[in-house]
């Protein structure tokens, strides 16, 4: 897994509603999610106890983002502004 693969996967997720690109976009999203879960797990495993305490809030936020599903409530829409809500949910 290299930077080139990640950049290509991000490119593959663009325009995912197009019929000819939908399958490739879904596959790229799944692969990106798998890579993110692996990286997060490795990071937690290699961090010391002090580091885990210091970055616990950020790591929990990242874990919530990686593990959220389509039908979940209280989704995270933005990492830098986690309080952001979907407008359709507020008024719908």
Instruction: List, for residues 19-47, the tens digit of each pLDDT value.
Output: 989 999 999 999 999 999 999 999 999 99
| Nearest by Cα to 6 from 22, 29, 37, 40 | 29
Count up the domains in the chain and report the number.
Answer: 1
| Domain assignment of residue 47, given as a range | 3-91
Instruction: List, for residues 56-65, the tens digit of each pLDDT value.
Output: 999 999 999 9
Angle at 62 between CA 57 and CA 66, to 5 degrees: 150
- pTM, two decimals, is 0.78
């Amino acid at each position: 897994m290299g930077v080139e693969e990640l950049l290509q996967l991000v490119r593959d997720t663009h325009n995912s509603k197009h019929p000819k690109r939908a399958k490739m976009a879904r596959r790229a999203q799944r692969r990106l999610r798998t890579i993110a879960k692996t990286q997060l797990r490795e990071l937690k495993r290699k961090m010391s106890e002090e580091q885990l305490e210091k970055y616990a809030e950020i790591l929990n936020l990242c874990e919530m983002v990686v593990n959220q599903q389509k039908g979940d409530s209280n989704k995270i829409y933005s990492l830098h502004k986690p309080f952001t809500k979907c407008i359709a949910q507020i008024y719908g």
